[in-house]
């Protein structure tokens, strides 16, 4: 009985501490408000495509967005977005210009920094690479 009590007490005491977390930061280094949408276009185990869209991130000029995740929450495939395995991103600058970024998740070395952990920036260079949004 002592051992059972000791084990239960130890487990309860161990779980009282803070769980380890990781923080991701995304900076807007432009004079424009940015709206960032992340997408996951994958296939399931039956090779059927499925599509998910993350919550939109809004960042005002020269400000940052920060999110903290517990270290067990799909950490190896999650960054700034509300869903893991983001492979394409749309960045809209002041509803005037659009930048589309894509990444092959099997090799992210040549991808934009937004696909990398733990900190990235949207820059003036990104704005200059964006295309004007056509009015309908």
Q: How many CA atoms lie within 13 A of 5 on its CB side?
A: 2
Question: Taking the model in full, what pTM does it have?
Answer: 0.74
Model confidence at 117: pLDDT above 80? no
Model confidence at 66: pLDDT above 70? yes
**pLDDT tens-digit map of 48-62:** 777 788 899 999 999
Are 100 and 107 a contacting pair, CB within 8 Å? no
């Amino acid at each position: 009985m002592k051992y059972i009590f000791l084990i239960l007490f130890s487990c309860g005491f161990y779980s009282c501490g803070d769980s380890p977390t990781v923080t991701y930061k995304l900076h807007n280094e432009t004079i424009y408000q940015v709206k960032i949408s992340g997408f996951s276009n994958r296939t399931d185990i039956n090779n059927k495509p499925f599509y998910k869209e993350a919550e939109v991130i809004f960042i005002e000029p020269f400000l940052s967005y920060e999110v903290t995740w517990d270290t067990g929450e799909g950490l190896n495939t999650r960054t700034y977005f509300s869903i893991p395995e983001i492979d394409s991103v749309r960045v809209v600058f002041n509803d005037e210009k659009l930048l589309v970024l894509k990444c092959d998740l099997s090799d992210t070395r040549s991808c934009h920094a937004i696909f990398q952990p733990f900190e990235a920036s949207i820059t003036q260079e990104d704005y200059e690479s964006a295309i004007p949004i056509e009015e309908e």
